[in-house]
A and B are shown apart, each in its own frame.
Chain A
Amino acid sequence: MVDLQKIEWCSRKPEQFHNITEEVHRLVENSPVKNGLVLVVTAHTTTGIMVNEGLPCVETDIADTLARVVPLEADYAHAHFLPSYGATGNNSTGHIKSLLCGNHCVFPVVEGKIVCGGAQDIYIVEFDGPQLRKVYVEIFGE
């Protein structure tokens, strides 16, 4: 059995950590699927799905490290007008940080609950906001 759900969130800044742990756990607990896996995957190429400890200081360290690795100003090839959009991209940092962060996470589901460590919070991370974002939560099993 497959149960596909969706979380929508509108970011308010160009880069923002948004903790969706409770929403994902609630979707799993309300799902008809009781044993299997849950997949959490972003619908975008300039966001990430991150599993980490839900502390502001950890978020700060991750954001600062990503900013050092992927600086705002560099000679990105993507910094030009895109005919296929009729708009300017200029969001290379978002694409690269999304790659580094990854686009999904997976957890086991046993007897209607996610099996995870106590520090494993789930985030959608915005790298090109503000804008409306979608995260798909697919619970599959039996």
Chain B
Amino acid sequence: MMIIDMHMHPIYYKSICPDEEELLFRQNAFGTFKQAPYDYDETFIELDYAKVDKAALLPLDLTTTEGGWVVNNDQIAKVVSEHPDRFIGFASVDPRREDALEVLDYAFGTLGLSGLKLNPAKQHFYPGEEFMEPIYKKCIEYNKPIIFHAGLSWEPNCITEYAHPLKFEPVAVRHPELRMCLAHFAWPFVREMVMLMIKYPNVYTDTSVLYMDSPEESIKRLFTIDMGPLWTDRALHSQIMFGSNGPRFRQFKLLRALEKIEMRDYAREGIYYKNALRFLGKEEA
């Protein structure tokens, strides 16, 4: 079965680590430490062991809040151009920058990136604010989905209230044609996340939930306690995508834990790849 990881941060990919200063900015802004840049070979060994076919790479534009990017759109496009068979490139934009729409036109129109990543907690905006409307309309114009960080964010200087799932409901109401993923099951607000998925079929989430406990304990709790054990089979099978949040969490450990969760084949296929293809706008899904 194909597996697509819809949530990876390529901050340590050696080919896009130009210097120590930029790496230090990324580490401090993203809040990961004690790791060093690595070659593609090491990345592919890990992807291959986990049997992950493709991974979505997420940047973040922090121009107005912190004066830089945690990987920029050109760097994402470079990685994708070097290995288009393994990577799906997302764009980012700081929604408060004056040229935000030009950044998106370049990212979608010229670079050909596959979607948009935003982190309201880190970029300090409420998703339902009026000034966000042109951003959403631009994504709809290009038929590009948005991955929002949602729920707890470990990154420094994040305000969780901005990323509470209830703050996304106005966007889901206004734009039923906009596919949006609230990442990390909006943990710990799992019930609110489920509520949104029941109401809005254009709202997706991902499985990158490992803030407490072992992978087995965390995923079991998510799929059988925080949610009823049949909720995925019965109602949510088309809106959950596999995501690892690497390098914070390791793919193969989350997949090992997911394999131990009982669910019907159609639900597992959806989580592992079909929902990702549909989210990305691929017709075959």
A-side residues, CB < 8 A to B, are 10-14, 72-73, 76, 79-81, 83-88, 90, 130-132
| Known contacts A13-B49, A130-B45, A131-B42: A86-B31 contact under CB 8 Å | yes
| A76→B247 CA distance, assembly (Å) | 21
Q: Which of B129-137, B210-218, B229-237 lines the interface with chain A?
A: B210-218
Q: Which of A10, A85, A90 is the most central at the interface, judged by chain B CB atoms within 10 Å of its CB?
A: A90
Q: Is the CB of A130 within 8 A of B214?
A: no
Interface members, chain B 221-246 (any A CB < 8 Å): none
Decide yes or no whether B200 CB sits under 8 A from chain A.
no
Q: Is the CB of B248 within 8 A of A86?
A: yes
Interface members, chain B 9-53 (any A CB < 8 Å): 30-35, 38, 41-42, 45-46, 48-49
Chain B positions 151 through 171: 1 when the CB is less than 8 Å from some CB of chain A, otherwise 0: 000100000000000000000
| A13→B211 CA distance, assembly (Å) | 24
- Cβ-neighbour of A84 out of B34, B49, B211 (below 8 A): B34
Q: Give how many B residues have a beta carbon under 8 Å from the other chain's beta carbons.
A: 28
Given contact pairs A12-B49, A88-B210, A90-B215, a sample of 5 additional A-B residue pairs in the complex whose CB atoms are under 8 Å apart: A81-B211, A81-B212, A84-B33, A85-B35, A86-B31
In the assembled complex, which residues on chain A have CB atoms less than 8 Å from the CB atom of B214?
73, 76, 79, 90
| A79→B253 CA distance, assembly (Å) | 12
Q: Which residue of chain B has the shortest Cβ distance to A81 in the bound complex?
A: B211
In the assembled complex, which residues on chain A have CB atoms less than 8 Å from the CB atom of B35?
85, 87
Question: What's the minimum C-beta distance from A83 to chain B, rounded to whole angstroms?
Answer: 8
A-B contact pairs, 8 of them (CB 8 A): A10-B41, A12-B49, A79-B213, A80-B211, A81-B211, A86-B33, A88-B210, A90-B253
Q: Which residue of chain B has the shortest Cβ distance to A92 in the bound complex?
A: B214
- Cβ-neighbour of B45 out of A12, A80, A81 (below 8 A): A12
| A42→B42 CA distance, assembly (Å) | 19
Q: Is the CB of A88 within 8 A of B49?
A: no
Decide yes or no whether B249 CB sits under 8 A from chain A.
yes
Q: Is the CB of A80 within 8 A of B249?
A: no
Q: Is the CB of B213 within 8 A of A80?
A: yes
In the assembled complex, which residues on chain B have CB atoms less than 8 Å from the CB atom of A13?
49
| A11→B253 CA distance, assembly (Å) | 16
| A11→B45 CA distance, assembly (Å) | 8
- Cβ-neighbour of B34 out of A10, A12, A85 (below 8 A): A85
